[in-house]
DNA sequence: CTGGGGATGGGGCCC
DNA sequence: AGGGCCCCATCCCCA
């Protein structure tokens, strides 16, 4: 990049005064790259296969006409994974921001070939020319993807905000069912791996890492302005974010990312797929909802999943105390692939940071040495048998005592056992929050002893861990901040679930209508819409409801003064 | 316009 | 950590 020329006009003088600042461009670029590292003012996210990169629209637009056209309307850009893989895109992004091309991950020719493919695809002409030159020197003519029939795909990208039915990393443009093993939907997985982005990172050879998620912004929060990205465009049902982060959470360790072309191909091998786990395969049918039958209806219910770490550094699975570097994204493939959001080299966010609410914009640059030792973590996915009964056995719930029964007859018989007086007393109190909570906790039932008593309130618990968890609810401070909006939570799980709503991640899909949910339980609830099942019956008027919460709200109608 | 029901989203909290 | 179930809030539709 050449130096900038400043032109000043003094008074009425028509003669411009020129002052060259030779370092200006360099400094400017340096600043921008540092900002990228911290995610500061990043206003676009580029999804490449299983990785997310943050960047500045202006910079991308200035680099390529292709990017220019993309960033004009989109904050989230999904690149064709046939044309570019995460490792190559990292190089490209670094090149864009620094003017320097660092090649290290792959053998030179292979790398330049991949770079040329990507550069051509992204219309980075200078970079493409550079790669051609390099390849020419090695005497290997370029046989890239641009030369094969897939050329028709060049230039294709996906808007992350588009409806799920049109989103895919490498799906066919006509939306037909995918058989491609690279279809990331096939490796989508369990809830809460979502947090992939901020949760996990292995860092070593590539030492690039997660930027904080904070560029994925919640427009309801004050941090939005700071980070400048509006994710209000949530996909109605499924977004590539979903794909991206789900895939993120189970495809691609740092190693695998560095050779992510092979990485894609290896999705076939995932245990996840073999185990037929979770929302995988959903996208394949979402393209054509009319084909969806109820056959898989029961698959979602009560499924137990277990990740077992079989090798590697203990710290990777431990909590913040031991895992200082990186953010494990979760057990993925049997190759131990992990995914991540990439900021830039200097920027990855440690799990510690996340747990402590530290954003990379405040602190970045963990040393590489801090990050060694975790790359060997391998995981296998083990899935225990899942029930074929979708909604459990005791759907008929006695409102006064909360006890469940498998059918209305048994429930009615049970209701008879409550005395009039007892029902009256219960009803009077049952709609205050406190009482509702009491009913919802086993404190109200007559179960095991609960020796661990809360020092603040009257509640007691079976084990100290639960008590400790409960006692946090009395704290004024909440230890788990949302990395995106800053909202604080008392439990990590609540926070990760909250994050999911920022990211639009909805792993649980209804196979009847394609609607997607962030939680398994929501899907279970929703399925009653299709089944017509109304397990909740008002004991006062006999009205039936699909959801307990609607019954409760209905009961208020009975009890509230008119 | 209003109230009731259906359905969904998000947070709290216990297991 | 993840699942499950509770709550409140909200939107939409319909009578």
Give the 3-state secondary structure of A33-62: HHHHHHCCCCCEEEEECCEEEEECHHHHHH
Most confident among A169-178, A196-205, A403-412, A529-538 (mean pLDDT): A529-538
More confident residue, A450 or A524: A524
Q: Residue A61 CA to B12 C1' — how many Å?
A: 44
More confident residue, A289 or A74: A74
Task: Give the closest residue to A83 by CA, choosing from A142, A29, A135, A151.
Answer: A151
Residues 6+ apart with CB under 8 A from A390: A297, A298, A300, A301, A302, A524, A527
Q: What is the model's pLDDT at position A401?
A: 47
Alpha carbons A360 and A201: distance in angstroms, whole number: 14
Q: What is the model's pLDDT at position A90?
A: 86
A472 touches strand C (CB under 7 A): no
More confident residue, A197 or A523: A523
A496 touches strand C (CB under 7 A): yes
Q: Please say if the pLDDT value at position A242 is more than 70.
A: no
Q: What is the model's pLDDT at position A407?
A: 57
Q: Which helix H or strand E contains A260, and what residues bound it?
A: helix A260-265
Task: Give the closest residue to A90 by CA, choosing from A285, A226, A259, A282.
Answer: A259
Give the lowest-confidence range in A22-36, A98-112, A278-292, A537-551: A278-292
| DSSP strand pairing (A340-342 vs A51-55) | parallel
Provide residues 514-543 of A with CB closer than 7 Å to any strand B atom. Answer: 515, 517-518, 522, 525-526, 528-529, 534, 543
Q: State pLDDT tens for residues A422-434.
A: 433 333 333 333 3
Q: What is the model's pLDDT at position A413?
A: 63
Nucleotide nearest to A500 (CA to C1'): B10
- Contact in structure between A371 and A316 (CB atoms under 8 Å): no
The upper half-sphere exposure of residue A258, i.e. CA atoms within 13 Å in the direction of its Cβ, equals 17
Give the lowest-confidence range in A13-17, A234-238, A515-519, A521-525: A234-238
Q: What is the model's pLDDT at position A70?
A: 75
- Contact in structure between A61 and A67 (CB atoms under 8 Å): yes
* Residue A52 CB coordination number (10 Å): 30
Q: Please say if the pLDDT value at position A139 is more than 60.
A: yes
Q: What is the mean pLDDT of residues A186-191?
A: 30
Tokens of A86: 């995460």
Provide residues 193-212 of A with CB closer than 7 Å to any strand C atom. Answer: 193, 195
A559 touches strand C (CB under 7 A): no
Q: What is the mean pLDDT of residues A448-468?
A: 78
Burial of A187 (0-12, 13-18, 19+ CB in 10 A): buried
Q: What is the mean pLDDT of residues A33-39?
A: 80
Q: Residue A109 CA to C1 C1' — how many Å?
A: 44
Phi, psi of A260 (to 5 degrees): -75, -10
A190 touches strand C (CB under 7 A): yes
Q: Is A379 helix (H, G, I), strand (E, B) or coil?
A: strand
A433 touches strand C (CB under 7 A): yes
Alpha carbons A443 and A381: distance in angstroms, whole number: 36
Phi, psi of A428 (to 5 degrees): -60, -35
pLDDT bracket for residue A209 (50, 70, 90): very low
Nucleotide nearest to A448 (CA to C1'): B15
Q: What is the mean pLDDT of residues A67-73?
A: 75
A500 touches strand C (CB under 7 A): no
pLDDT bracket for residue A199 (50, 70, 90): very low
Tokens of A456: 């603040």
Q: What is the model's pLDDT at position A105?
A: 55
Nucleotide nearest to A320 (CA to C1'): C1
Q: What is the model's pLDDT at position A465?
A: 79
Q: Residue A538 CA to B4 C1' — how many Å?
A: 14
Q: Please say if the pLDDT value at position A469 is more than 50.
A: yes
Q: What is the mean pLDDT of residues A103-131?
A: 80
Return the C-alpha torsion angle A438, A439, A440, A445, nearest 10. 100
pLDDT bracket for residue A20 (50, 70, 90): confident
Give the lowest-confidence range in A114-123, A321-330, A423-432, A458-467: A321-330
Is the Cα torsion angle A474, A476, A479, A485 positive or negative in sign? positive
Alpha carbons A553 and A559: distance in angstroms, whole number: 10
Q: Please say if the pLDDT value at position A555 is more than 60.
A: yes
Task: Give the residue with minimal CA–C1' separation from B13.
Answer: A470
pLDDT bracket for residue A73 (50, 70, 90): low
Q: Residue A321 CA to C1 C1' — how many Å?
A: 16
pLDDT bracket for residue A484 (50, 70, 90): confident
Burial of A286 (0-12, 13-18, 19+ CB in 10 A): buried
pLDDT bracket for residue A383 (50, 70, 90): very low
Q: What is the model's pLDDT at position A454?
A: 80
Q: Residue A541 CA to B15 C1' — how many Å?
A: 33
Q: Residue A313 CA to B8 C1' — how many Å?
A: 42
Positions on chain C within 7 A of a protein C-beta: 1-10
Q: What is the mean pLDDT of residues A18-22?
A: 77
pLDDT bracket for residue A16 (50, 70, 90): low
In terms of phi and psi (left: phi > 0; alpha: psi -120 to 50; beta: otherwise), the region of A293 is beta
Task: Give the closest residue to A33 by CA, choosing from A102, A105, A86.
Answer: A102
pLDDT bracket for residue A104 (50, 70, 90): low
Nucleotide nearest to A249 (CA to C1'): C1
Q: What is the model's pLDDT at position A185?
A: 31
Task: Give the closest residue to A349 by CA, choosing from A363, A332, A330.
Answer: A363
Nucleotide nearest to A306 (CA to C1'): C2
- Contact in structure between A476 and A213 (CB atoms under 8 Å): no
pLDDT bracket for residue A85 (50, 70, 90): confident
Return mean pLDDT, chain A: 53
Most confident among A11-20, A106-115, A252-261, A525-534 (mean pLDDT): A525-534
Q: Residue A546 CA to B11 C1' — how many Å?
A: 22
Most confident among A390-399, A415-424, A525-534 (mean pLDDT): A525-534
pLDDT bracket for residue A501 (50, 70, 90): confident
A34 touches strand C (CB under 7 A): no
Provide residues 524-553 of A with CB closer than 7 Å to any strand C atom. Answer: 524, 548-549, 552-553
Q: Please say if the pLDDT value at position A10 is more than 50.
A: no
Q: What is the mean pLDDT of residues A69-90?
A: 76
Q: What is the pTM of this model?
A: 0.33
Q: What is the mean pLDDT of residues A11-32?
A: 73
Q: What is the model's pLDDT at position A281?
A: 31
Task: Give the closest residue to A506 by CA, choosing from A228, A225, A167, A266.
Answer: A167
Q: Residue A317 CA to C10 C1' — how many Å?
A: 39
Q: What is the mean pLDDT of residues A331-340?
A: 28
């Amino acid at each position: 990049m050449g130096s900038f020329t400043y032109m000043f006009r003094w008074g009425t003088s028509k003669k411009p005064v020129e002052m060259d600042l030779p370092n200006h461009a360099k400094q400017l670029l340096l600043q921008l790259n540092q900002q990228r590292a911290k995610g500061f003012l990043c206003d676009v996210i580029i999804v490449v296969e299983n990785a997310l990169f943050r960047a500045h629209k202006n910079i991308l637009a200035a680099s390529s006409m292709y990017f220019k056209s993309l960033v004009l309307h989109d904050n989230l850009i999904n690149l064709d994974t046939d044309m570019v893989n995460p490792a190559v895109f990292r190089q490209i992004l670094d090149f864009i921001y620094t003017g320097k091309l660092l090649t290290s991950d792959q053998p030179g020719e292979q790398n330049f070939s991949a770079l040329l493919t990507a550069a051509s695809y992204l219309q980075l002409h200078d970079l493409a020319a550079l790669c051609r030159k390099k390849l020419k020197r090695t005497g290997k003519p370029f046989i890239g993807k641009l030369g094969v029939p897939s050329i028709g795909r060049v230039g294709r990208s996906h808007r992350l905000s588009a409806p799920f039915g049109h989103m895919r990393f490498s799906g066919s443009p006509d939306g037909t069912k995918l058989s491609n093993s690279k279809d990331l939907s096939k490796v989508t997985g369990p809830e809460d791996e979502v947090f992939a982005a901020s949760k996990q990172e292995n860092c070593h050879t590539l030492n690039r890492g997660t930027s904080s998620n904070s560029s994925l912004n919640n427009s309801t929060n004050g941090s939005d302005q700071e980070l400048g990205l509006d994710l209000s465009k949530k996909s109605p049902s499924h977004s590539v974010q979903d794909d991206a982060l789900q895939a993120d959470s189970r495809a691609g360790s740092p190693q695998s990312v560095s050779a992510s072309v092979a990485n894609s191909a290896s999705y076939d091998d995932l245990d996840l797929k073999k185990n037929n786990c979770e929302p995988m395969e959903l996208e394949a049918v979402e393209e054509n909802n009319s084909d969806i039958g109820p056959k898989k209806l029961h698959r979602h219910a009560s499924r137990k999943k277990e990740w077992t770490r079989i090798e590697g550094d203990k710290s990777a699975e431990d909590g913040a105390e031991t895992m200082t570097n990186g953010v494990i994204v979760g057990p993925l493939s049997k190759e131990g692939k992990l995914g991540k959001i990439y900021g830039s080299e200097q920027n990855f966010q440690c799990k510690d940071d996340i747990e402590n609410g530290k954003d990379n914009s405040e602190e970045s640059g963990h040393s590489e040495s801090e990050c060694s030792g975790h790359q060997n973590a391998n995981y296998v996915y083990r899935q225990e048998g899942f029930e074929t009964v979708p909604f459990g056995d005791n759907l008929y719930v006695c409102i006064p005592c909360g006890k469940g029964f498998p059918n209305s007859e048994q429930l009615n018989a049970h209701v008879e056992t409550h005395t009039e007086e007892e029902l009256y007393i219960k009803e009077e109190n049952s709609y205050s929050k406190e009482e509702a909570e009491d009913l919802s906790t086993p404190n109200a039932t007559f179960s095991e002893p609960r020796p661990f008593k809360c020092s603040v309130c009257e509640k007691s618990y079976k084990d100290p861990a639960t008590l400790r968890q409960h006692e946090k609810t009395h704290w004024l401070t909440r230890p788990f901040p949302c990395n995106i909006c800053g909202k604080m939570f008392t439990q990590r799980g609540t926070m990760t679930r909250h994050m999911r709503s920022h990211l639009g991640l909805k792993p649980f899909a209804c196979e009847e209508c394609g609607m997607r949910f962030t939680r398994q339980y929501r899907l279970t609830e929703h399925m009653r819409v299709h089944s017509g099942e109304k397990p909740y019956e008002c004991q006062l008027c006999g009205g039936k409801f699909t959801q307990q919460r609607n019954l409760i709200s209905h009961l208020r109608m009975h009890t509230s003064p008119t």
